[in-house]
């Protein structure tokens, strides 16, 4: 070992002590927390505003029960999971655009929970944020969510109470809003995730990983240290359910990343084309790229055509640890012989969230903003408090909110000055990504999550057209739990809820 290595190990060790102290006292347990005063100010309660008309749409009713279950990730990996309706992921909800979706959440866990409808444009009071849009649903109690599913596309739902913990433990599922006229007969959802089956590893190595990330420049060193198993629809490796398709058949495959780590899936050459991203159709004739890069929280839909072969594989690119867990065999009806001889195709180009323009941009030309907000993303450390993830040098709830009025055009410049990746997600709206590192995109991209990597800068625009109090946060929920959250605060409305308190409202 040379001196440099020993030196860095010493630093890690020292910092580790501070970190362990910190682990005993995450920010949210440290008492005195309140929403920014602007979020509490205004005439009208967010409970009284709604951006949706119900008309006479058909009503689709579901019940989701939050309950604890032993979950078998694979033959030798069992975890005690928190689930919606007993499985991980929870029940996959399928509705048709225009339906009124009514979901009764019944809480049979012994901790409070909620449901957030990730990506869905809905009334603020249905957004599922404890302490902001509702009180957390207490053990033994229930809450009914209701909204109109206006825009077809791939969505997902997850608890937003202590989300860093609850999503990790399995409280998530998919919501597919189908087009009135379906284009693909075969249509499947795959939710990707990481698990810490070995819990000790999770606690000790998370912080070490953050430190290593800070030094090594691997923007995901923290999650990589923390988790030891990858899953597809709650299963790893050979336990993953194969997809049955015949050669030449086409399907719409919807991918959701419920984890905190980016995943890169390798497809057989020439077999896929991205068709949608965060529920927005993209314009693309690219059949060359065969690697799909999906950020934490992101959804990407592809059109997949099965090549002339009995069995092919879609799987995590091999360069990361645990890659072998994440492999989907595509078999034929007559040969169900799943995981034998699993090899991945050669990589020929990466398709990601910012690769293709959207079919329907929000703005034709770059608009004149009414509000501008510079969002600096960074990482901090202080003895006693440990690691934090900051927006404009503050941690939630002290981060400066984005103040808007109904109808405003809002311009946000996101800049990552830290050394970790930050998939930033906005609730209740979609934004248009216009430029990266000062260079304009030829075709703007409409999304609700933008993956901002170290050194990157994105300029996004959105229209403030959904009155309420909305989160804008990092979807590596471990970063959100350590501060990287802010609020889009509309003038004139206030949240009647509070962080903490008897209901233990802890949104991150």
Give the binding site for Cu ion (CB under 5 A): 422, 474, 476, 479
- The two structure tokens encoding residue 381: 């450390």
Quick one: 252 or 479, whose CB is closer to Cu ion? 479
In order, the DSSP letters of 38-51 are HHH-SSEEGGG---
Q: Residue 83 in contact with residue 67, Cβ under 8 Å?
A: yes
**Which of Cu ion, ligand C2O, none lies near 264, with the C-beta cut-off 5 to 8 A by kind?**
none
Strands 59-74 and 77-84: antiparallel
471 touching ligand C2O, by CB under 6 A: yes
Quick one: 273 or 427, whose CB is closer to ligand C2O? 427
**Which of Cu ion, ligand C2O, none lies near 422, with the C-beta cut-off 5 to 8 A by kind?**
Cu ion
Alpha-carbon span 383 to 25, nearest angstrom: 12
Strands 402-404 and 439-447: unpaired
425 touching ligand C2O, by CB under 6 A: yes
Secondary structure (H, E, C), 411-478: EEEEEECCCCCEEEEECCCCEEEEEECCEEEEEEEEECEEEECCCCEEEEEEECCCCCEEEEEECCHH
From the list 75-83, 199-207, 229-237, 467-475, the region that binds ligand C2O by CB under 6 A is 467-475
Alpha-carbon span 212 to 44, nearest angstrom: 47
Alpha-carbon span 415 to 24, nearest angstrom: 31
For 51, phi then psi, to 5°, come to -100, 10
CA-nearest of 371, 391, 400 to 452 is: 391
From the list 14-22, 180-188, 388-396, 470-478, the region that binds ligand C2O by CB under 6 A is 470-478
- Longest pairwise C-alpha distance within the chain: 72
Q: Residue 148 in contact with residue 94, Cβ under 8 Å?
A: no
Quick one: 79 or 485, whose CB is closer to Cu ion? 485
Q: Residue 58 in contact with residue 99, Cβ under 8 Å?
A: yes
Burial class (CB in 10 A: 0-12, 13-18, 19+), 34: middle
CB of 347 to ligand C2O, least distance (A): 29
**Which of Cu ion, ligand C2O, none lies near 168, with the C-beta cut-off 5 to 8 A by kind?**
none
**Which of Cu ion, ligand C2O, none lies near 463, with the C-beta cut-off 5 to 8 A by kind?**
none
Quick one: 252 or 475, whose CB is closer to ligand C2O? 475
Number of chain positions touching ligand C2O (CB under 6 A)? 10
Q: Where are the alpha helices (DSSP H) in 329-434?
A: none
Q: What is the footprint of ligand C2O within residues 103-122 (CB under 6 A)? A: 116, 118
**Which of Cu ion, ligand C2O, none lies near 169, with the C-beta cut-off 5 to 8 A by kind?**
none
Quick one: 130 or 208, whose CB is closer to ligand C2O? 130
Alpha-carbon span 38 to 6, nearest angstrom: 49
Total length of the chain: 508
**Which of ligand C2O, Cu ion, none lies near 411, with the C-beta cut-off 5 to 8 A by kind?**
none
From the list 204-212, 340-348, 461-469, 471-479, the region that binds ligand C2O by CB under 6 A is 471-479
Quick one: 116 or 224, whose CB is closer to ligand C2O? 116
CB of 83 to ligand C2O, least distance (A): 17
Alpha-carbon span 247 to 486, nearest angstrom: 48
CB of 259 to ligand C2O, least distance (A): 12
158 touching ligand C2O, by CB under 6 A: yes
- The two structure tokens encoding residue 455: 């050194």
CB of 129 to ligand C2O, least distance (A): 7
**Which of ligand C2O, Cu ion, none lies near 403, with the C-beta cut-off 5 to 8 A by kind?**
none
Alpha-carbon span 157 to 141, nearest angstrom: 19
**Chosen residue from 112, 153, 213, 297 binding ligand C2O by CB under 6 A:** 297
77 touching ligand C2O, by CB under 6 A: no
**Chosen residue from 473, 479, 482, 503 binding ligand C2O by CB under 6 A:** 473
422 touching ligand C2O, by CB under 6 A: no
**Which of Cu ion, ligand C2O, none lies near 448, with the C-beta cut-off 5 to 8 A by kind?**
none
430 touching ligand C2O, by CB under 6 A: no
What are the beta bridge partners of residue 489?
403, 469
Task: List Cβ neighbours of 293 (8 Å cut-off, separation of 6 or more).
Answer: 262, 263, 264, 350, 351, 352, 353
479 touching ligand C2O, by CB under 6 A: no
**Which of Cu ion, ligand C2O, none lies near 474, with the C-beta cut-off 5 to 8 A by kind?**
Cu ion
CB of 297 to ligand C2O, least distance (A): 5
Which residues of this protein are in contact with ligand C2O, per CB under 6 A?
Answer: 116, 118, 158, 160, 297, 425, 427, 471, 473, 475
């Amino acid at each position: 070992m040379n001196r440099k290595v020993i030196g860095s190990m010493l630093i890690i060790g020292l910092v580790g002590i501070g970190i362990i102290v910190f682990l005993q006292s995450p920010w949210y347990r440290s008492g005195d927390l309140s929403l920014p005063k602007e979020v509490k100010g205004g005439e009208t309660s967010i409970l009284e505003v709604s951006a949706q008309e119900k008309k006479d749409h058909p009503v689709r009713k579901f019940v989701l029960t939050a309950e604890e279950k032993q979950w078998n990730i694979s033959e030798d990996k069992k975890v005690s999971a928190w689930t919606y309706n007993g499985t991980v992921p929870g029940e996959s909800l399928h509705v048709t655009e225009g339906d009124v979706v009514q979901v009764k959440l019944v809480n049979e866990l012994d901790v409070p929970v909620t449901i957030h409808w990730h990506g869905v444009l809905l009334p603020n009071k249905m957004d599922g944020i404890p302490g902001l849009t509702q009180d957390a649903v207490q053990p033994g109690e229930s809450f009914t969510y209701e909204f109109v599913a206006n825009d077809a596309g791939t969505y997902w739902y997850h608890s937003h109470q202590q989300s860093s913990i609850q999503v990790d433990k399995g409280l998530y599922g998919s919501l597919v809003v189908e087009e009135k006229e379906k284009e693909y007969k075969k249509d499947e959802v795959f939710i990707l995730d990481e698990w810490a089956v070995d819990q000790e590893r999770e606690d000790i190595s998370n912080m070490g990983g953050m430190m290593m990330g800070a030094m090594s420049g691997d923007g995901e060193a923290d999650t990589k240290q923390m988790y030891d198993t990858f899953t597809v629809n709650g299963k790893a490796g050979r336990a993953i359910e194969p997809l049955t398709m015949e050669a030449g058949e086409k399907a719409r495959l919807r991918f959701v990343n419920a984890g905190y780590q980016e995943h890169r899936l390798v497809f057989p050459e020439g077999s896929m084309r991205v068709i949608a991203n965060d529920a927005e159709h993209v314009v693309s004739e690219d059949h060359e790229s065969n690697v799909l890069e999906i950020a934490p929280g992101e959804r990407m839909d592809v059109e997949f055509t099965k090549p002339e072969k009995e069995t092919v594989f879609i799987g995590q690119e091999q360069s990361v640890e645990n890659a072998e867990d994440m492999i989907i065999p595509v078999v034929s009806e007559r040969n169900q012989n799943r995981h034998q001889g699993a090899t991945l195709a050669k990589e020929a180009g990466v398709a990601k969230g910012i690769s293709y323009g959207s079919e329907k941009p929000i703005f034709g030309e770059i608009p004149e903003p009414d509000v501008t907000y510079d969002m600096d993303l960074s990482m901090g450390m202080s003895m006693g408090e440990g690691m934090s993830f900051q927006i404009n040098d503050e941690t939630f709830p002290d981060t400066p909110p984005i103040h808007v009025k109904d109808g405003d055009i809002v311009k946000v410049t996101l800049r990552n000055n830290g050394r970790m990746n930050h998939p930033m997600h906005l609730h209740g709206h979609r934004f248009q990504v216009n430029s990266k590192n000062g260079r304009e995109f030829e075709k703007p991209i409409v999304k609700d999550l933008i993956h901002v990597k170290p050194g990157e800068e994105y300029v996004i625009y959105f229209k403030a057209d959904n009155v309420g109090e909305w989160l804008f946060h990092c979807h590596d929920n471990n970063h959100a739990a350590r501060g990287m959250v802010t609020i889009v605060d509309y003038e004139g409305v206030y949240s009647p809820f509070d962080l903490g308190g008897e209901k233990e409202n802890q949104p991150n």
